[in-house]
Amino acid sequence: MISPAASRALPWALIGAACLGSFAATSSGTTRAPFLLSMAHDLDVSMPLVANLVSATSVTWGIASATAGYMSDLIGRRVLLIAALVALALTLCAVANAGSFLWVAVWASVAGACSGTFMGVVFAEVSARVEDRQRGRALGWVMSGQSLTLVIGVPLAAWVGSMIGWRGWNVCVGGLALAASLALLLVVGSSRRAIPRNEQRPTLRSALSPRVLALLGTGVLERVCYGLAAIYFATFLQSIYHLSLAATAIPLAVFALGNVLGTILGGQLADRRRDRLLTLAVMLALSGLAALALFVWHPALAVSVALGFVYVMLNALGRPSYMAALASVPEQVRGTVLGVNGASSSLGWICAAGLGALMISTVGFEGFGPLGAGLALLGTIGAALCRRMAST
């Protein structure tokens, strides 16, 4: 179903503002990585305790994403998009001025909720502004804003942070969030209800049809597969090849570039191949084979880095097809569905962190290959079942 506001030309101004907003939202948590030691020293706590902020922000991100998606179908998306980024900017300033770890954790969790609110709604807004045949490319560009956090955001944070510290960097990210909110204020039209006043409000039961639930389950498996590599790739290289943390910078940059390239090309593929669920199934299957090769066979550092690039690129190639297929629901429930997707993605990240830690403590990184391949196979089966459900 095409929104009346959709046009044949991609709304590049909206996509650009959405990319900036997604970059700021993702950077609010991801770019904390270079500052773990300095934050721990400044706040007088252990480094693992600071690292566990990721779990807290993932939980609040997921809850807020689902809630905001539902609310956007009732009151419109514009107010939520702008308010979420303004609140994120203020919250990051509060993080920068926090005097204890407790208040850093509190404000970081609130920042996760602000980011989840934004990401849960922005995909629905962009989806509503383009035709279905262009949706893969549009959503792929928005997702590239998240991917660029690893390529540009983390190195930039380390460079800028070396001069102004982790507190100053949080203020900088807050400034980016505020700039994105101003851009969206200019390019997003007046807030409109997806549900007219005289129509019944959507319920979770009506929005989450069996096909949507099956697709969301497939998305969780895909996020676990990606998270296993994204979270533990640096540790894998350090363990297998005895690299220093500094020496992992280039391999991690190559890994991140694979994600960016796959996301952009995946958007093109999603719009050129009308059978998006078949594309998703194929890419999940291929990424499962790549996971086996990456974690089981490691003859040399260059080979492992190349396999990491291939693995994450194959995974990212299927992501726009997944998002475009998920967005192909009635406009009245699109915000709810895509908001719940944000919550399920957070669940995937949490499961990836837990499963990876369990695997390392029991069988080591060699177990990552069969685990990733098995999860990818389940995801492939899930995508095939969703495809069959769509055709019946």
Full set of structural domains in the chain with CATH: 12-187 (1.20.1250.20), 204-391 (1.20.1250.20)
Q: How many residues does the chain have?
A: 392
Question: What are the distances in angstroms from CA 55 to CA 21, 88, 150?
Answer: 22, 18, 18
pLDDT tens per residue, range 115-147? 999 998 999 999 999 998 899 999 999 998 888
**185-194, 212-221, 289-298, 382-391: segment of lowest average pLDDT:** 185-194
CA–CA separation, 280 and 316 (whole Å): 10
Mean pLDDT check: name the lowest of 99-108, 223-232, 291-300: 223-232
Tokens of 326: 């998920």
pLDDT band at 299 (very low <50, low <70, confident <90, very high): very high
Encoded tokens for 44: 């007088």
Single-letter code of the amino acid located at 157: A
The per-residue pLDDT for range 188-229, each reduced to its tens digit, is 875 455 555 555 555 667 678 889 999 999 999 999 999 898
Instruction: Give 147-198 pLDDT, tens digit per residue.
Output: 888 778 878 888 888 899 999 999 999 999 999 999 999 998 754 555 555 5
Kindly state the average pLDDT of the residues 259-270. 93
Sign of the four-CA dihedral 188, 189, 191, 193: negative
Residue 195 confidence (pLDDT): 52
Summarize the confidence of residues 274-287 as an average pLDDT. Answer: 93
Q: Name residue 192's amino acid.
A: R
Reported as a pLDDT band with limits 50, 70 and 90, residue 34 is confident
Q: Mean pLDDT lowest for which of 72-86, 278-292, 308-322, 347-361?
A: 347-361
Please say if the pLDDT value at position 8 is more than 70: no
Please state whether 76 falls in left (phi above 0), alpha (psi between -120 and 50) or beta.
Answer: left
What is the rounded distance in angstroms from the CA atom of residue 158 to the CA atom of residue 200? 50
- How open is the CA angle 264-269-273, to the nearest 5 degrees? 160
Percent of the chain surpassing pLDDT 70? 93
Residue keyed to tokens 């994105």 = 180
What is d(CA 272, CA 268) in angstroms, rounded to the nearest whole number?
Answer: 6
Q: Is the pLDDT of residue 287 over 70?
A: yes
Question: What proportions of the chain, in percent to the nearest 5, are helix, strand and coil?
Answer: 85, 0, 15
Average pLDDT over residues 358-384: 93
Torsion, Cα 215 261 141 114, to 10 degrees, reads 70
Q: Render 29-54 in DSSP notation, one character per residue.
A: HHTTGGGHHHHHHHHTS-HHHHHTHH
Proportion of the chain above pLDDT 90, given as a percent: 58
Question: Looking at the predicted structure, is the pLDDT value of residue 3 above 80?
Answer: no
Whether the CB-CB separation of 230 and 349 falls below 8 Å is answered with no
DSSP 8-state assignment for residue 132: G
The pLDDT confidence band at residue 1, using thresholds 50, 70 and 90, is: very low
pLDDT of residue 7: 44
